[in-house]
Structure 1
Amino acid sequence: MVYYTFSDYLKQRYGEKVYKLPIALPLTCPNRDGTCGVNGCTFCGSIGTGYENLPSSMSVTQQITANKAHIIPKYKAKKFIAYLQNFSNTYLPINDLIRYAEEATHDENIVALYIATRPDCINEYYLARLNDLKEHRHIDICIELGLQTVNYKSLIKINRGHTLAEFIDAVLRIKQYNIQTCAHIILNLPWDDMTDVIETAKIMSALRLDQVKLHALYIIKNTVMAEQYLNNEIKLISLSEYKQRVITFLEYLSPDIVLQRLIGRAPAENTLFSNWHTGWWKIRDEIIAEMENKNLQQGLHYNYLNGQALKKFIAYN
């Protein structure tokens, strides 16, 4: 493959295909409840990202059981990842988080726990408790951090409520506990260009993230960004440009970093714009085909760390 796919990683790690079980918890986000903001990110809808989630009124066990009942007959699945997906899943009292995490990993067929959250919701005490759970349950834990871009000016424009500094701090703290890290990145924010794409890849590599999840920007109905879109205050790049940004991002990204996906998806009924009205799988396949045809691959330009300017001297030793 031209990039390190999530499916390849899972098969290497667990010996077979593994399936995510999305779980919605009854919580919110500090960028919504007044802790660091009240309106949330300008692109985020009222239900967050949990379009395919079961209601958070169901218990964690009930959600896992229901999702397994759907996935096992369809895919013959045997191993699973419990995925605390919607909003900021570490933004709650530590005992509540551990209680949910214990319930999510009680099933012996759960091999990992993935937790989606924000960089400003990472704390060493929380990490220590999660590490205890990891060792007790003998599972992997991966914390997925929403970042979107390393462009601090763009982070302000989308009302992210944190800067790049908090993200760097969160990653460094997580790594002290041998917990995996994943970053959520949007490659086509209206204020970003290819320079931002390359710098994002470089910073992900320098921090030695374990995984990255790429998204194309959705315009969710009834959001601040939807109003900007309808008023022609923002412009979106073409599909062709998005594909070039993904390819360039991959070329500068460390080949050791796993790509959970190259593009996401959102239901048409919830969006004004999503993936250029093109299937996510078609966009992914076109990216792969172009990279194969041009003999491109992840890490092609990964040559900028560890004192690049000194390498000419080392070569003669």
Structure 2
Amino acid sequence: MEKIRYKIYSSYLKNKYKEKVYRIPINLPVTCPNRDGNLGKGGCTFCADVGTGFESLSNSMTVKNQLEQNIEYIGKKYKAKKFIAYFQNFTNTYLPISEFEAFIKDSIREDVVEVSISTRPDAINKSYLDVLKEIKIREGVEITIELGLQSINHKTLKKINRGHTLAEFIEAVNLIKTYDFEVVAHMILNLPYDDEDDVIEGAKILSALKVDGVKLHSLYIVKNTVMGDDYLKGELDLKDVSDYVKKTALFLGYLNPQIVIHRIVGRAPKEDSLFCNYGISWWKIRDMIEEYMDEQEIVQGSYFNYLGGSALKKLNNL
């Protein structure tokens, strides 16, 4: 029997939908309020001109055509029958409500069991959530909201020009939870401005907020970005791969064991990157993390003993 070190997303989906489910990326013609001057300019210091849409189809294609083309390929290759429509790139709620609703409706097909929407915590409000609730009830699809956080350190958030603080993230999670949608948080564990305490506190905060999933990214540095310029000037302390391995194991150790791990290592195309995964294949880093967890006898939730008045219980030997 395979050892369960952490709650793996693919296994979670198979248990939920009773068969393998594949995510299909959808690329909308949308930008980000932190790029166009509404909140800021230039976006996050690590963000490329294409956002995270390296492997997406062109946003000039309709949602229906993107889904049809990708599902035809994935369906044949993996004999898949169920899919998640994943609105992946940039800030997908940064659209007029009518346009947003039309795009989401265009993603509904008989074989789409879930719609996942990636956005910023400061770009969420009741109007968008009301639209999604109506679609969920009418179409019978699950709804997941993915929120970029990256770090809980306010100085780091300012340094990377996120354009929001931890407060907006907390407020967004609490609001989304009232709609009974799943919430997934994105975190970068090896930002050069964060230490192990930041990583541990991040796991604690996400556990306290009862997020449903976490997507972990190892930092990749893309060409023609502010962080890329800093990297070329030798101004970033990136440490080595063992630092990421240890931080990831610590994060998982402090994380609520019920939270689903959607990803444990990030990646980007080699031709677009100045730095990515220390020049090591992502799956090798995953194996290194799992080997380290075994050596240190860490599993997800090993140190999950800090909520529900745990400190007082220890004090009183309760």
Sort the TM-score into its range (normalised by shorter chain).
over 0.9
Question: Which of residues 22, 36, 52 in structure 1 aligns to 2:25?
Answer: 22
Match of 2:106 in 1: 103
Q: How high is the sequence identity, in percent, across the aligned residues?
A: 54
Matches within 5 A, 1:69-218: 69-105=72-108, 107-218=109-220
Corresponding position of 1:285 = 287
Deviation at 1:315, TM superposition (A): 5.6
CA distance in structure 2 between the aligned counterparts of 1:297 and 1:279, rounded to whole angstroms: 23
For residues 151 and 257 of structure 2, the distance between their equivalents in structure 1, rounded to whole angstroms, comes to: 20
Q: Distance in 1 between matches of 2:260 and 2:183?
A: 10
In structure 2, do the counterparts of structure 1 residues 88 and 293 end up closer, same or farther at CA, with 3 Å as the change threshold? same
Deviation at 1:100, TM superposition (A): 0.5
* Structure 1 position 216, deviation (Å): 0.8
Using the alignment, how far apart are the partners of 2:311 and 2:201 within structure 1? Answer: 18
Tell me by how many angstroms 1:139 deviates.
Answer: 1.0
CA positional deviation for 1:290: 2.5
**AA paired with 2:201?**
E
Shift of 1:289: 2.5
* 2:36 pairs with 1:33: yes
1:296 partnered with 2:306: no
Unaligned runs of 5+ in 1: none
Is residue 2:7 matched to residue 1:4? yes
Q: Secondary structure at the match of 1:284?
A: helix
Matches within 5 A, 1:61-76: 61-76=64-79
| TM-score, reference length from structure 1 | 0.97
Match of 1:258 in 2: 260
2: CA distance, partners of 1:13 / 1:140: 11
| Structure 1 residue 313: Cα displacement | 6.9
Whole-Å separation in 1 of the counterparts to 2:282 and 2:24: 20
SS at match of 1:256: coil
Structure 2 equivalent of residue 310 of structure 1 = 312
* Number of aligned residue pairs: 315
Q: Is the 8 A contact 2:220 2:266 kept in 1?
A: no
- The answer to whether 1:224 aligns with 2:243 is no
Q: Tell me the secondary structure at the aligned position of residue 73 of structure 1.
A: helix
After alignment, is 259-268 or 66-75 more displaced?
66-75
Q: After the TM superposition, which segments of 4 or more aligned residues of structure 1 sit over 3 Å from their partners?
A: 312-316
Offset from partner CA, 1:32-53 (integer Å, 9 cap, x none): 1111001111000100000000
Residue deviations 1:51-81 (CA, integer Å, cap 9, x gap): 0000000000100011012111211111100
1:44 corresponds in structure 2 to 47
- TM-score relative to the length of structure 2: 0.97
Distance apart, 1:307 and its partner CA: 1.3
Secondary structure at the residue paired with 2:187? strand
- Partner SS for 2:251: helix
**Cα distance in 1, alignment partners of residues 297 and 157 from structure 2:** 34
Decide which moves more: 195-204 or 282-291. 282-291
